């Protein structure tokens, strides 16, 4: 064992070839955390299958049910309804359920506590750990759009800006909600259980399996306020070009409100340390 000599330069960044900007430093940290988490996801077969296969399986399972609905009021074909609803499945399985388990696992291994002694900030630790899940979700959404347009005779996205806005808001919201869910769970398994209510509620009430326009008006009005609803509506509307300005603003506002609530809840209640 030996200690190497400390260099002449001691200031931050002095050791590197050139001083780096703050954004580059943050990006380096996020990538380092994301890379480690990706390796862990690769080695956790159950979590990997849930993230990769569940969205596909659910779309396939739901497609025939959706086709039986009276979709006339929605102005969508069965393919359009189920493929755009699949965005919801992607966010629920690849992001929400996957990460609520991962956050609990890292907390119970005391990894989060250890990381909090590093230079990474709290938000960076959660965001970096979420990167692989977000990457998987992004890839799945791209596949959906390409497959939908190429083979299922869906149109090319009409408002890609809204599609992307919906995705970004959805990702931020469901990463934060995964952290909130993780706060209440003691093990990765109980996190799966705790994530189920929001998962089922979103599938049933947020236009993922059943488009809102098929529902009675009062139910649809309430369901519009669920966290997943504005995300799915923005992505669906962005693709199919069916959103008016009034609806767009409404969904953006609802989604933003949920993001604010979820981020506030994480900042206030997230537990970084095991209770052991």
Partner 1 sequence: MDFGENVIDVTGLRRRYGPPGDEKKGFEAVRDISFRVGRGELFALLGTNGAGKTSTVELIEGLARPSGGTVRVLGHDPYGERRAVRPRIGVMLQEGGFPAELTVAETVRMWAGCTSGARPVAEALELVGLADRRTVRVKQLSGGERRRLDLALALLGRPEVLFLDEPTTGLDPEARHATWHLVRELRESGTTVLLTTHYLEEAEELADRVAIMDKGRIAASGTLAEVIAAHPARIRFTLPEGWYVGDLPPLAELGVDSYEQTGRGIELRTRELQRSLTGLLLWARDKDVELDGLDPRTASLEEAFLSIAGRAA
Binding site for partner 1 (CB under 8 A): 1-6, 12-16, 25, 28-29, 31-33, 35-36, 39-40, 43-44, 105-106, 109-121
Burial of residue 88, with CB atoms counted within 10 A of its CB: 0-12 exposed, 13-18 middle, 19 or more buried: buried
Residue nearer to partner 1 on the CB measure, 25 or 143: 25
In the complex, the smallest distance separating the C-beta of residue 83 from partner 1, rounded to whole angstroms, is 35
- Kindly state the smallest distance separating residue 110's Cβ from partner 1, in Å: 3
Q: Output 131 or 212, the one with its CB closest to partner 1.
A: 131
Q: CB of 102: closest distance to partner 1 in angstroms?
A: 10
| Pick 119 or 221: Cβ nearer partner 1 | 119
Q: How far is the CB of 81 from partner 1 (least distance, A)?
A: 39
Joined together, the tokens standing for residue 148 give 């939908």
Question: What minimum distance in Å lies between the beta carbon of 28 and partner 1?
Answer: 6
- How near is the Cβ of 97 to partner 1 at its closest, in Å? 19
- Indicate the residue among 122 and 247 with the shorter CB distance to partner 1: 122
For partner 1, the closer CB: 25 or 149:
25
Instruction: Provide the token pair at 23.
Output: 């954004």
Nearer to partner 1, 191 or 209 (CB): 191
């Amino acid at each position: 064992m030996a200690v190497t000599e400390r260099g002449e330069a001691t200031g931050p960044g002095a050791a590197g070839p050139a001083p780096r900007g703050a954004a580059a430093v943050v990006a380096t940290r996020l990538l380092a955390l994301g890379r480690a988490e990706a390796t862990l996801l690769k080695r956790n077969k159950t979590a990997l299958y849930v993230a990769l296969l569940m969205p596909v399986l659910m779309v396939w399972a739901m497609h025939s049910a959706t086709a039986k609905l009276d979709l006339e009021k929605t102005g969508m074909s069965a393919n359009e309804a189920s493929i755009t609803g699949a965005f919801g499945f992607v966010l629920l399985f690849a992001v929400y359920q996957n990460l609520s388990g991962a956050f609990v696992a890292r907390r119970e291994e005391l990894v989060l506590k250890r990381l909090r002694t590093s230079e990474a900030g709290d938000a960076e630790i959660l965001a970096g750990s979420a990167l692989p899940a977000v990457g998987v979700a992004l890839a799945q959404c791209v596949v959906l759009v390409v497959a939908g347009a190429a083979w299922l005779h869906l149109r090319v996205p009409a408002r890609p800006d809204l599609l992307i806005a919906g995705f970004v808001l959805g990702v931020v919201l469901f990463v934060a909600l995964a952290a909130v869910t993780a706060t209440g769970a003691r093990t990765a398994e109980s996190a799966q259980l705790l994530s189920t209510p929001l998962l089922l509620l979103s599938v049933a009430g947020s236009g993922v399996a059943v488009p809102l326009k098929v529902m009675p008006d009062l139910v649809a009005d309430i369901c519009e306020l669920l966290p997943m609803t504005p995300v799915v509506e923005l992505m669906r509307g962005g693709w199919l070009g069916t959103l008016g300005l009034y609806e767009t603003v409404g969904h953006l506002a609802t989604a933003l409100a949920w993001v604010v609530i979820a981020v506030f809840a994480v900042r206030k209640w997230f537990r970084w340390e095991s209770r052991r």
